[in-house]
Every structure is written in structure tokens, then in C-alpha cells.
Structure 1
């Protein structure tokens, strides 16, 4: 019996779907895109209506041949990449190269990897949506035109290796504009006054604090200590009483279920995860987790979405779960509906659990710690979004203080908020994006007071403050800003933030993103010469036009033509007007003490003295543009040729290595790990004849132990005790894998953030 072929993007997803569909289906993975524009040429014929030249992606030839063979032997082929523009384009490219009749080829789409969703998709196939494909092509070609035309200009005027793009350049501008605000900010001093009170009739009553909010009939304006001390002096010993007590109730509504951007932000705020890490874990939860007897199960719906829509069956399941678990008072009389933000593509659902009856604790043993934390966050947020509001009561007490002079000049205020009914907060309380006010932070401190009740003013305390500059962006707040201004799409945020760091435009300090001098200089040039490229409104409008292409109301080639003509004219003018940019570094010349400049020569970037030609000092840079470290002794390591000790750790074309200062011979740098095969030698870093790094025993040829990935000293594999290997990834988070068994795990979970950063430094030389 012939079988049907299903082609998905991810091997992990293929494994999960294969278990669902059974023996009559063959499930293969394309591993992402199979065709793209060529790497070494623009690949767009601008004179022929922007005709793209697509080529098979290098190293994908074997995948393509495997898919072609499987398609020829199948009675029907279902194209099942992700349900978004990128996925639609992948399906279209597959259809172009599989070379089978169209009546045997159909597109299927699903938003969650569950048995019901997959079987329903197979039962209701459709044609490829060419409008979606055109929208993706327009975006890809637009980015290629900007990148291939603008990046060489930056190489020429600033330094090689730079890049520019519609979304990444706007993101850098947001960071640079904020940095300029901070640099221009002038802090101003101000003071506040706080009173410490106690009920006069109850000597044992607990004292409480209140803030001075009115002085001489208006808001206090205390710009210095002298003004504050003058108020304190007048109020000391003042008679006080409760002037008013006001109580109001308010409903605190739950947040909508997650969309991509809010998931990324909450992952950062609540879990401390990077945007990249959040999306990598969400991808794992979507593609399927092995739950033992159940097998691989997709735990969440598709995680790249800007829609808060919830399917009716999911709402009904949520209703039944909430009623059973928490009771009738926790489920609203009407189902909750959340409005979509402007420009949202409402074809997808929100990010939610595929089955609300699979609570996090029930499957905790099948998940890694980070998978569990993120799944719990998604499950709690969705469940809470379908529950009743919390009821809060806020009691505001105003206290009149009459100075000894007899004038009722002062009014103090304290607010206390308490929860009357917990509602959705029984399940989930979002990380506090709404900062608590000073009054709210005093919640619970004030006793129950009656209007007119006499109070004793115990102390009056002044407090100094300074106005603060706007906060620098974190990954979470940058995502929020990009989303609010309509820049990019959910799938672009994580790679954009990664790219601007890789290009050296931005450094990350803790959770804070800080533009570098290079980023500031490049941004200044783009703002001056390419204002449209880095203009938020222009970029947001381009996104809206791409949406129109997807709807079929605008031709993608016309969109490109409208952009390209003015862009080329601007490019020509910029080439003539833009001056060579000098990047001054923080490093000083070792010969004359003047600042070093970031320069470019025939062998790449290097540091050169700003006093050139009087001073010709230079310093080599590593592959990630960091100064090459000075030679330093390798304590405890002697030369294997002449016995001299210690060897020197020096830097060469391929990174660090050991060199003998006596005989000049070099030897590989040791990893410090004992060879598990012979137990005599150490594993050292070597380089093959083909230029590939590998790791082998230094007792070769007596011991032929070899590894093709960097070994990690600690920890050992938790399953078999063998050496773990570090597996860097260009997309998604780095992994570790056992050198002997099939164990794999996210690197950050196994070795921690510091080791991940150390490995990144080792890999970049």
C-alpha cells in the first residue's frame, strides 16, 4: 500500500506528528527553508520587476533529494510547514522543486500538534495561499535590497563586517535615542516629607506613615533641604486628626492570553529568560515533549502569533476545568473575548496550552526546569484569562495637621489596598509592569481609622530624592516598544535583538541593552543620510503595506518599486556626502598613550594609534573585534620539545595556542581534561588539514581518541558519566550533548550562564 507524505519544518515536530498519524503516513522534515536568495550576489533582477533568483541553500542538497524521492513514492503529499508567511513560503518552494503533479500536492495547516488538530488538517487540505507567499517574498527582497546596497556603504565609510536592515536599524535607533536622552538628562534635587502617626486613644497602637500631599493649600514644592527642614520645623508637634476616609472598590481584570511579544516580555520579567531563550523553549513545547506512555505531545499552540483569539472548544474546556477546580464564583457569566491590537493577523490563536487538563505539576517530571517554568507561565496565564476579575478595596485616609501657629496648612495621605476576592489572581499574578505607587506600597500599614479621630504626630521626616533619567531598554522593554510602534512581526524580535548584539552595535549589561560607540556612530550616519530607513513611522507603514499584500489588495512588485526608486537616489547622495567615520576606542596606545582607533586593513579590523603617522603602533583584534590578549605564562605546562617551563599562551590566526619562549616550538592548547581512553594524556585542541578544529589526546599516535566538538570539564553526563560536548547553535540556544550516549540538554541549564559566556569567547577566538 502506498503511503502519504507529510513534510514539516522541524525533525522534532516530524517525530511527534509521525506518532499521531500512524503507519499510513511518512513524515519528513525540510529543516527550515530549502531555497533562498544566493549568499554571494544580490539575487534580485530589479530591471525585470524584481524577479528573485532562488537557489538551493548550501548543505540542503541531500535533504532536497530525500524529499524528492519520498514524494515520488507517495500517493499524496501534504505540505505542513508552520502556519505563517515563512511557512507558506517554504510550502511554495517545496511545491516548486518536488516535481510532482499538482493534484497530488496540497497544503495543510494546524496551530497545535495534537491528534485532533493534525487529523482535522489532513481532512481539510487547501491550496497554497499565494498572497502570503508574495508578502514573504516582498519582505525578503526588501531586506535583501537594503542589506546589499546599504551594508557596503557602511563597510566603506565606517568599517567592514557591518550591516543595516529595516527592523534592526530602527531597533538600534530606539536604543541610541534613549541613550542620548540619558546623556542629556540633568538630575534635579527634590524633597518629600513623611509623618509618623499613632491613634491618640490607643497608646499601644502600631504607628503608621503618611505622605505630605498639601502644604499651604497646594502641592509641596520642596527643591532643597532648607525648604524641607522649614516644613518639618513648623509641623513638629502639630495637632492632627483624620480629615476624611474614603473607600472604593475596583475590579482588576485579567490580562489577555499570551501573544508572542507578551510571552517574550513576561519570560524576561518573571523568569529572567532572554527573548531568544524564551522562543527556543516555546518551540520545544510546541513541537512535542515525550510524556512517557502518551509519547510525544505538543503542549502549546503555535508560539508566533499576534492574536489573542481563543477557539471556542478551548474556552469550553477552560470553563469546565475552572468550574471543577475552583468553583462557580471563579468563572464569569459571559465568556471573555479580547480585542486584537491594530494590525494583528487574526488567523492564529493566542499562545495557550493545547489541553488545559494537563496542568504543569502533572507533567513536571517530563520537562526540563526551564520547560516547566515556561509551560507553567503559559498555562497559568491562559487559565487566568478565562476567570473572573479580582475585587480590590482601596481605603484612602487624609490627615489634617495643624501647626502650633494655628494654621491648618498640612494634609497627609495614606492609601491601603486589600483584596476582597482573589478571582483570577488565585492562579496567576503577572510580573508587575505597573510599578506600585508610594501610597500602595504602604498597604497594610495603616489601621482602621474613623473620620474626625484624633491622632498623635510622632515624627516628621524629610527625605531627599533626585529625578531619574529614563531607563535603558531591556530585551523585554525593547520588544514592547517595537510592538507598540508596529515595527517588525512576532517572529522578527528575537533574531533582531541577537543581530544588533552580534554586529557590535549593542552590549548587554545584565538585562540592560547599551549601545556601543560603534552603534551610536552608525546610527548617526543612518539618521542623517537615510532617515526613512530608521524612521519608526516609515517602518511601521511598510509592515502595514506587507499586510495589504497578504490580503491581496496590493501587488508586491509595486510595493518594491515604490521603495526602490527613492532609495537608490538617497544611496547615491549618501555615497557622495557621507564622510569617513572614525571609531575612537577606550584603549590607549602603549607607545605614546594616545587613543587607539578602530581601523581596517587588508587582514581585517585592527587597532591603530590616532597619532599615525608619527606613531605607527598597532594591536591585533580577535574575530569578534576584541583586543588580542597579551602573551601570558601557562603555569604548570612545559615544552614537549625542550622541556622549558612555563610555556606561553599566545594568539595566532586560529586563536590561542601554546608557544615555547626558549625553542620557539608550538604545541596545542590543552583543555585540562584527562583522556578517557588512555587515562594518561590530556585532550588538546588541534586543527585538521581541512582547517576544522577538533580535540584529541596529546599522546597521539599511541592514543587515537578524537572529539569533533569542544569538551566540557564539568559536569559529566548525568546518564552515563561520560564527557559532555558543547554544541553551539546559530539559531536557538546552545546545547550540550554526551560524547558516548544520546543525552542532550540546553547548555544554560547544565553549565550555567557564566560557562555559556566563556564558551562563546572561546569559539570567537
Structure 2
């Protein structure tokens, strides 16, 4: 029998699918994309199609086109390159393709998957009549068998939509970046969608910084009936107007008047209400709920969801459709009836409409088999189980009856004052039996008689302050992007990750903070590329991509229109500010003297943060002074202190030139520098002298443990650190999140007698963020790593420094004779000893305490 080749993206997916297909199918993985537009690491240029011919005498324009791999001036010709490391995979797939009758491209069913299928077809080549396209929404036997009975061909319209998005993103990234490097700072880049996300966070940052909290009061009164039934009720109105006291004196006056009044129950409204079940998850809601309920980042959620999908546990994860197949609905209804009873089963299945910008027709995210509640943890971890449980519960709840509750509103009159109390009492849990809903719910509310008197127990005045809008969390940012129609389900994880990686925003305690460079970049792009980061424009472009996928408009027409407008804006932005060009990121001079050459220092902003730079840097090369002083943001320190930000907002300095909120920084424990938030457009700054409770590391003198030279404080893209001033050493020590300076890193120790299994290399003992580990001495050529066995450390105890020698004295075996290994607790930053049996950790462990090893065996 002739064999067929099935190609998927991931090895895990290939392994799952091969279980359901017969021996006549060979299932292989491409491990994601096999080719793309050129990158700095591209090696083999695939010029099978659409290649760009670059003249020998290349100007800047041609060089840029060559780097981008697309030519917008020549009908969007494209040059694709084989991705580094994919040569062997392609060679293997080509060899197998020559031996089989059919080639089934079974990549994911979204546009990205369609594009991967097309690239595979182009790269493998040969007899094109062999190629078939198969798609499935879930990796189950039934779904796969059904897919292979309904084979099709690559949807080129979807491929073109993916290419149009890729080309536009490429144009923006490659053509704006050189301008940003010239005008603002080296290392910057812009993204067509990412820059819009930075704008959302940056504008919220602006609102928060300039928010002035205002005092107001809330007056609650604890009252009781004749039957001694107590309730707390809120004073809401005075003389039929909303009661909003802003001073304590107004509250005191109200208390006096209410004390001298009769409190009479005017209304007791009770009505039965229903709250319908929530829809099953789509990509964005899964990301939001996972963040809120489990505390997972968007990136982590999508990683775990992908693993669950590839293992066959859930349906496809990139969707914005609430549709559920009839078969899945039938099965879940049977499950509800059998496990919860008829009271929890609605007469007809619950139907959910899609959102405004929904574009996909496949299903919402649900379990592939409703009977599976626990996943196999051999290849997945406990976090994957938590996410699966979240998906399973949401899907079950989505087909259950509404929650039934009583809504009670009590209105009390006290002379000219109105007091109100709202309560919700659950009568029937419905879907909340499985997905908890506990907002404003009580188990009891007294049944007060209209016209009856209430008696005052005590007054409960509460001082409050108005608050700015909350900072975006990952969940709320995704919700905002979805609401504005920016991006698509498959792009949210990339958006939230990239804006952090590029240093434009920072995330602390699951809240986004705009960095100064992110704010400057947003202001400059809004002025010079207003349309590019306009919310409506970005959303309308998503709709155009949808239309390309449906073959309703030409993809090249969309690209041409975009490029025409973009090019005009780009040329204008290159001009001087006087000619309407992009405003440069100038250095704002201060009165602070350089400690090296005594010239004045200026405020500069780069991707690494805000710092002081000597004006002598612009002198002749021989006289150039390179002195810089890193600043520690007082704003950032407040992020790490619980409930400090509200206090910070009330004490914030304001610029005397433009009244903008100022950013505050420590130079050292004796000097603070307040810089206008509009810097560098505004040159306002203030120097404050005194004795301040600054971070201890600002006043510490650190000596390099390698060369004994002094180490100096620096702020980098990935945090704060000390670096040796000796140019030949450049040793670094990281500053931990608690403000302490990390211990010196262990020098790599060679163990030539311990050979690697995957290569001819030997092991070297290294230290990383997860403690000590063995790594191949030929890294990165060989990336083999593993945890050290205690018996290995004991054998070579003479090689170990004092810092870790105690590990070699730990037990070599556990109580069942299994060999012990060195482990690391990332929370406590301490090593401990564990053991494994058949590749899995046992319950045995040993901790080093008071100079002794203490065994813990469950």
C-alpha cells in the first residue's frame, strides 16, 4: 500500500495524531515555520519564487529592500529564506515526499497555519498534485478521521491575508526604526500593533500621573429593627439630590440631623432575577480569566493551552467564535443531566452570539472529551491541569440553567435624607454551582415592614479619596484591545510580550507601567504617524485583512494604499522640527557638575532608562568625557511598596514651567532630581537636597571579587546591576527585587571525567537563576544540561568552592536506594536534595538546616 506523508507544526501534535492514523501514514513535524522573510541569522535564501534582484551598485533604498525581503516598489516581490536550523528538517521532508503518494498539510486552521502549509508546499516542491490540505478543530480520533474524509487545498486568500499583515509589520518595523535611532535613541523599534498597545498604556500613565486625588466622605449608618435585626445602610440623598459630602464638617452636620430624625422604612422592593450562564471561552476571554483566576500571564496561558490542544485535551485555542458543535452540546447536556440533575439543564441549549469583530467560524475553546476531568501529567504539569479545569468548568457552566436570586432594595427616610441598602440572596445556584459567583451576595436580609421605625446603633463615616482609572493588567489590556478591535486572538500574547521585551512598558504585580521611553515614543509617533497608531485606523486595517481572507478585496491594493500614506508621513518625519519633522530626543541641561571634568550634566532618556550624561561627551574624541550617572526612579520604588501609590499621587511635584506632574529620581541618598513629565519637550527640573531613605545599594561600595577593582551602579534594559569598571573584567552583580545585591556567581568548574550522553563533550558545573547545574563544555554547540548527582559532587569534592561544598555531604541515596540529585527552590533561593524513580520525583527530600542535613520523607 502506498504511504502518505502528514506534516504538522509540532512534535507533540505529531505524536498525538500518529496514534489515530494507520501505518500507511508517516506523521512528521516541521517544528513551526520553515522559512520567512530575511533575518540577520538567515543563511540559505530560497529564491524559488518572487525573488528580488538587487543591483550591484546598491543605494540605501535597495539595501533596505534587501534587508526587508520585500519590495513595495516592485509589486511587492518577496524573498523568503530558510530559517536557521531548518535545513535538515526540509531535507528529510523532501526525501519522504519523493517516496509517498500524497502529502497532507495538517497545520493549524488559522491564517498562520495556512501560511505555514503554503511555505511547506513551496519549499518541498516536486509534484504539486500530491499536496492536500486537512484541518481539524480538535485532535481526537473522530475529528481526524472526519478531516481526512474532507480533504481540500490551501486557501490562498487566507495566505495573502497573513502575508499582508506580515508585510505591513515589516514595513513599519524596518522603515521607522532608522528614523527613531536618529531622532530619539539607538535600539528603538516600532510595531504596527504593538505601538498602539504602548499608546493605550502610556495614555493611561499620563492620566494617572496628572490625577489630583480629592477628598470625599461616605456615611453609613448601622441600624436595627424592633426585632433587633441589624443592617448597615448608606446615606445616598439629601433633599432629593445625591449626598456627596467633601468635608468632615458636612458629615458631622448630617449626623446631627439624622440623629434628631425618625428613620422610617419607605420602600422594601423585592424581585426575582436571573443571571444567565457565561459563554464558553474564546481566546481573549481565556487569557483574561486565566490572568484573573490563576494569575497566569497571557504568554503562559497560550503556551499551556497549546500543549493541551496538541495533547488532544481541548479544541483549537485561537478563536473568537462562541459556536459549539451540535455533537458537543448534546454530550455536555447529557453530562449535566447525569451529574447535576434536570434542574440544572435548560429546556433548550444555550446559544451565544459572536462579538462584533468576530472573524473565525470554528468552535469556542472546550474540552475534546467532557468525561476527562484529570489530564495525564506525564508530559504536562500541574499548571496545565489548572488551566484545563478552568476551561472544563466554563464549558459545563455555559450550558447550565441561570442563577436565580432575589434582589432586595431597602429605602429609608430620615427627614430630608434618603438611605438605601441593596442585597442579593441566591435562591438557586444554577451555573454558579460549578463557576463561583460571589459578588454582593448575602445569605440573609431582614424582612422589614414598610412604615416601620428603625433605630440608630452607630454612625460609620468613611473618609475616601477619588482615584485615577486603574492601571491595565494583562487581562484588562487584552479586553481593551479586543474592545477597540485591535489585533486578533492569535496576536494578543505576542503584543503583551513584545512591548515588555522592548522596554517600553514594565509589569509589576500584574500592572502595566509605561516607561519613560515608551511615553516619549508614543508622543513622537502620535505627532508624525498619527494614523499609524490611531485606534480606528488599526481596527479598520484588521477588517481589511478579514476581507482579504474572504477574497472581497485585493491584498496588494490594501498594501499599496497603506504604503503610499506611510511613505508620505515617513518623509515628513525625517525633516527638521521647524519643517514639521519629528522632534528629537534632546539632552536637557542641568546645573549638576560632572564629577570627572566639572562640565554640566544633562538629562537623557534611552531604552535603558533616564540618566545623567556629561555634556563633555560631545567634545573632540580625545577630550570626550563619558561619565554617566544612573538614576533610580522613585516612581518605580513605589511600585514595590504595597498601597503606597495613592499616597505618592497626593505628594507628587508639579513642573513650574508647564504644571505637568514630575518624575522623581534618586541620584544618591542626599540628592533627589525631579524631572518634568513632558521632558524633553519641557526643560523643567528641580534638585532637592537632604537626607533621604534611598535604596542601600546607592551608597554601597562594591569590590569586584574577580579583579578587586571597584564596581559601579548601572541600569540596563533588564534591570539594575553593578559592573566592574575594569574594561578587561566587566564582571557584573545583579540587584535583586528586594534591593539586595546578588552573591558572586560561581566560576564554571570543569568535570572532564563526566562525559555527556548526546555528544563527545564533558560537563562543566555552572550556576544560574535555578542554582547549580551541569552543562556541556561545548555550549552552545551542545545544549545538554542536567542536575548534578550528590555522589558526583562527593567524588570531586576537592574541585568545589566552599560556597557549595556542603552539597557533597548530603545523602547519596534515599530510603529506597534511589540516587539523589541537587535541586533548587526559586522562592527561598536555596538548594535542597531530591530523588527520582523512573524519571519522576519521589516524595523524599533533604534540607540543610543548622549545619546538618534533615531528611523529609512522606
Q: Please indicate the TM-score interval, normalised by the length of the shorter structure.
A: 0.7 to 0.9
Deviation for aligned residue 1:462: 2.1
Instruction: Tell me if the contact between 1:677 and 1:703 (Cα under 8 Å) persists in the aligned partners.
Output: no
Counterpart Cα distance in 2 of 1:391 and 1:145: 54
What residue is the counterpart of 2:271 in the other structure?
248
1:338 aligns with 2:352: yes
Aligned-partner SS, 2:357? coil
TM (normalized to structure 1)?
0.80
Deviation for aligned residue 1:115: 0.6
Change (3 A) 1:231 1:277: same
For residues 193-272 of structure 1, the aligned pairs below 5 Å read: 193-200=219-226, 202=227, 205-272=228-295
1:169 aligns with 2:195: yes
Change (3 A) 1:118 1:673: farther
What residue is the counterpart of 1:10 in the other structure?
10
1:83 corresponds to which of 87, 105, 109: 109
What residue is the counterpart of 2:384 in the other structure?
371
Counterpart Cα distance in 2 of 1:638 and 1:611: 31
1:428 aligns with 2:423: no
Alignment size in residue pairs: 673
Higher relative contact order (CA 8 A, sep 6+): 1
Change (3 A) 1:742 1:159: farther
Deviation for aligned residue 1:374: 0.4
Instruction: Tell me if the contact between 2:589 and 2:601 (Cα under 8 Å) persists in the aligned partners.
Output: no
Instruction: Tell me if the contact between 2:614 and 2:628 (Cα under 8 Å) persists in the aligned partners.
Output: no
Aligned-partner SS, 1:251? strand
Counterpart Cα distance in 2 of 1:690 and 1:389: 58
Change (3 A) 1:632 1:327: same
1:537 aligns with 2:619: no
Counterpart Cα distance in 2 of 1:106 and 1:705: 59
Aligned-partner SS, 2:490? helix
Counterpart Cα distance in 2 of 1:174 and 1:14: 40
For residues 59-138 of structure 1, the aligned pairs below 5 Å read: 59-138=85-164
Counterpart Cα distance in 2 of 1:691 and 1:363: 33
Aligned-partner SS, 1:450? coil
Counterpart Cα distance in 2 of 1:374 and 1:583: 48
Aligned-partner SS, 1:74? coil
Aligned-partner SS, 1:560? helix
* Cα deviation 1:453-477 (Å, max 9, x = unaligned): 2221122232211111001111110
Counterpart Cα distance in 2 of 1:502 and 1:582: 24
Counterpart Cα distance in 1 of 2:473 and 2:308: 25
Deviation for aligned residue 1:722: 3.6
Change (3 A) 1:585 1:376: farther
Counterpart Cα distance in 1 of 2:820 and 2:141: 37
Counterpart Cα distance in 1 of 2:280 and 2:589: 46
Change (3 A) 1:254 1:671: farther
Counterpart Cα distance in 1 of 2:484 and 2:491: 14
Counterpart Cα distance in 1 of 2:115 and 2:750: 49
Moved more, 55-64 or 107-116: 55-64
What residue is the counterpart of 1:43 in the other structure?
69
Deviation for aligned residue 1:632: 3.1
Moved more, 546-555 or 47-56: 47-56
Deviation for aligned residue 1:82: 0.6
Gap regions ≥5 residues in structure 1: 289-297, 402-407, 622-626, 640-647, 659-667, 707-712, 727-737, 751-765
What residue is the counterpart of 1:315 in the other structure?
329
For residues 475-624 of structure 1, the aligned pairs below 5 Å read: 475-576=474-575, 577-582=581-586, 594=601, 597-598=604-605, 609-612=613-616, 616-619=625-628
For residues 638-677 of structure 1, the aligned pairs below 5 Å read: 650=724, 656=731, 669-670=745-746
* Cα deviation 1:138-177 (Å, max 9, x = unaligned): 1111111111111111111112221111110000000111
Instruction: Tell me if the contact between 1:391 and 1:423 (Cα under 8 Å) persists in the aligned partners.
Output: yes
Change (3 A) 1:655 1:392: farther
Counterpart Cα distance in 2 of 1:690 and 1:654: 21
Deviation for aligned residue 1:47: 2.2
Counterpart Cα distance in 2 of 1:650 and 1:16: 51
* Cα deviation 1:115-154 (Å, max 9, x = unaligned): 1111111121101101001101111111111111111111
What residue is the counterpart of 1:683 in the other structure?
765
Deviation for aligned residue 1:650: 3.5
What residue is the counterpart of 2:26 in the other structure?
26
For residues 282-301 of structure 1, the aligned pairs below 5 Å read: 282-288=305-311, 298-301=312-315
Counterpart Cα distance in 2 of 1:376 and 1:268: 14
Counterpart Cα distance in 2 of 1:140 and 1:188: 47
Deviation for aligned residue 1:717: 13
Change (3 A) 1:80 1:693: closer
Counterpart Cα distance in 2 of 1:144 and 1:273: 30
Gap regions ≥5 residues in structure 2: 41-66, 576-580, 631-666, 668-696, 709-721, 734-743, 755-762, 768-774, 801-806, 826-833, 846-858
Deviation for aligned residue 1:49: 1.0
What residue is the counterpart of 2:659 in the other structure?
none
Counterpart Cα distance in 1 of 2:174 and 2:557: 20
RMSD: 4.0
Change (3 A) 1:653 1:93: farther
Deviation for aligned residue 1:383: 0.6
Instruction: Tell me if the contact between 1:631 and 1:649 (Cα under 8 Å) persists in the aligned partners.
Output: no
* Cα deviation 1:708-743 (Å, max 9, x = unaligned): xxxxx99999996445799xxxxxxxxxxx999996
Instruction: Tell me if the contact between 2:314 and 2:367 (Cα under 8 Å) persists in the aligned partners.
Output: yes
